[in-house]
Amino acid sequence: MSIPQDLWQGEYDRLFIGGRWVRPSSDRRIQVISPSSEDIIASVPEAVEADIDAAITRAREAFDHGPWPRLSLEERLAVVRRFSAGIEERVEDIAKLVTAEMGCPITLSRSYQATLPRLMTDTFIESAQRYPWVDTRTSDTGNALVTREPVGVVAAIIPWNAPLLTSILKVVPALIAGCTVVLKPTPETPLDAYLLADQLQRAGLPEGVLSVVPAQREVSEYLVRHPGIDKVSFTGSTAAGRRIAAICGEEIRRCTLELGGKSAALLLEDADFDAAIAAIRAVSLRNSGQVCSNKTRIVVARPRLAELNERLVQMIESMPVGDPFDAATEIGPLANRNQRERVERYIAEGKNSGATLLIGGDRPSGLDRGFYISPTVFTDVDPNSRIAQEEIFGPVLTVHAFDTEEEAVAIANNSDYGLSGSVFAGEPERALGVARRIRTGTVEVNGSPGGFAAPIGGFKRSGIGRESGMEGFDAYVEVKSYGLPREVFDRLR
């Protein structure tokens, strides 16, 4: 296997603080481990409290006194357009970089990890031009100018599974709104955040507006608690989100949380199984199962259970597991050793729970190095069991049979999570009717995605707030009202 080492320097010696590459405050390092070889492929400085202080000081100064929040919307969009053009030119670099960092199969990286960030950026640019930044309202009780103004200094904390895409989901709308941002990438995948900083600097982002501070959990909490932060935007586990919500609650600090999922795909008795299996292949085992919106509970009409089980085994057998830099690979390694051990514990739990193991349940043969696990399917699964209730975040699916439509909806809703889901039926209108009864933030009807113009986010313990679409700007603005004399109001209308 050949790691494309030309994409990084091996050892970075600087942090990106307030738009400048500066020496860190300590000699602590973060080692980046290849999930496929277990080798150290790079290292970056580990940000400590003093680096967080410096980043927030620069962000605070840039927000309170700098030009960025005071530029026109079109002037800010011009910078973001140049950034979009820059990352479009580096799709292959981004794909290889994320594959090296976290093991996403390279074919998927070229689309999901590298192309989608640019498409998301462009959708935000288009949506910003339709967002109601300024509105006028009149009634018998008064005349108002209503504005949406930048919330301030944003702490953006991202996970390792789709690092650049998640960074874009937070950084771009925050910048367009006029905020300044301190981006905290996870220790497993800091390298793509360096690329993002470099591209925004090249695009002309003013100094102070962005910092990138790779850090461990303790320093991350310091960032969340820092009095200079106005808003926290976090994507990650529900456990970590609960802690962040508690801190923000103490400080009356705004927060957006995009957390875990245990989403269900409902296959009604007249579902097109060719379409359903194709969708399950794409969005249930995507990124080796490491996507929070993956549909990992497959809920099927009982008369078609045997057919589904057979089709799932055939599907798994046709999905190559191996080197993530091989274009044929569909299942790569898990992102790190801890994640593989976590998934293996859940597989052991499934084997002991009375469920039937259809396929997988072990480490693939011939892959002695790397954090690999065989894609696994359990059937005859109790909907209340741990493997059906808890987010595994690996290539593990559970199958559940239902007898009535009401039972199918009940199984889908039998979860602490409510992030995503899908419904397959012969008649799209019937599928939509069932989808309306599922308590999740997104439901795909017959495998149709909503796209980046639509908001994403979860019900219940899947989070607070929405990202993407025009709603994605709501997280980064404060709504402000001005009462106006009639003559001023009439001139503004």
Q: What is the pLDDT of residues 118-170, one digit of tens each?
A: 999 999 999 999 999 999 999 999 999 999 999 999 999 999 999 999 999 99
What average pLDDT does the segment 383-407 reach? 98
Strands of 153-157's sheet, edge to edge? 20-22, 15-17, 210-212, 180-184, 153-157, 231-235, 254-258, 463-464
What average pLDDT does the segment 17-29 reach? 96
User: Residues 193, 450, 284, CA angle at the centre, nearest 5°?
Assistant: 70
| Segment holding 99, helix H or strand E | helix 91-102
Amino acid found at 115 = T
List, in order, residues 6 or more apart from 219 with CB less than 8 Å away: 46, 47, 48, 49, 52, 213
pLDDT given for residue 490 in this prediction: 82
pLDDT surpasses 90 at 199 = yes
CATH 3.30.470.20 at 263-452, yes or no = no
- From 320, 434, 445, select the one nearest 372 (Cα to Cα): 320
Superfamily name and number for 5-259+462-480 = Aldehyde Dehydrogenase; Chain A, domain 1 (3.40.605.10)
* CA–CA gap between residue 188 and residue 47 (Å, rounded): 14
* CA–CA gap between residue 160 and residue 101 (Å, rounded): 9
pLDDT surpasses 60 at 403 = yes
What average pLDDT does the segment 225-252 reach? 96
pLDDT given for residue 486 in this prediction: 87
Q: What is the pLDDT of residues 317-351, one digit of tens each?
A: 999 999 999 999 999 999 999 999 999 999 999 99
pLDDT surpasses 70 at 185 = yes
Mean pLDDT, all residues of the chain: 95
pLDDT given for residue 183 in this prediction: 98
What average pLDDT does the segment 73-100 reach? 97
Residues β-bridged to residue 423: 266, 445
* CA–CA gap between residue 145 and residue 488 (Å, rounded): 10
Block residue for tokens 């670099």: 93
Q: Provide φ and ψ at 251, rounded to 5°.
A: -95, 0
pLDDT surpasses 80 at 3 = no
Question: What's the Rg (C-alpha) of the chain?
Answer: 23
Q: Is 317 a catalytic residue?
A: no
pLDDT given for residue 102 in this prediction: 97
pLDDT given for residue 426 in this prediction: 96
pLDDT surpasses 50 at 4 = no
> Torsion angle, CA of 381/279/160/36, rounded to 10 degrees?
90
Query: Do 325 and 34 meet the contact criterion of CB atoms below 8 Å apart?
Result: no
**CATH 3.40.605.10-classified regions of the chain:** 5-259+462-480
List, in order, residues 6 or more apart from 140 with CB less than 8 Å away: none
- SS3 state of residue 88: helix
pLDDT surpasses 90 at 7 = no
> Torsion angle, CA of 427/433/435/439, rounded to 10 degrees?
-170
Distances (CA, A) of 151 to 64, 231, 386: 11, 7, 40
Query: Do 452 and 467 meet the contact criterion of CB atoms below 8 Å apart?
Result: no
Global pTM reads 0.95
pLDDT surpasses 50 at 237 = yes
pLDDT given for residue 11 in this prediction: 65
Block residue for tokens 């559940």: 400
Question: Which of 46, 188, 258, 391 is the catalytic position?
Answer: 258
pLDDT surpasses 80 at 10 = no
Q: Is 255 a catalytic residue?
A: no
Question: Which of 46, 188, 292, 391 is the catalytic position?
Answer: 292
Picking from 137-141, 272-276, 429-433, which range would have the lowest pLDDT averaged per residue?
A: 137-141
What average pLDDT does the segment 279-298 reach? 97
Strands 356-359 and 417-418, sheet pairing: unpaired
* CA–CA gap between residue 170 and residue 453 (Å, rounded): 15
CA atoms within 13 A on the CB side of 92: 4
pLDDT surpasses 70 at 8 = no
pLDDT given for residue 476 in this prediction: 98
**CATH 3.40.309.10-classified regions of the chain:** 263-452
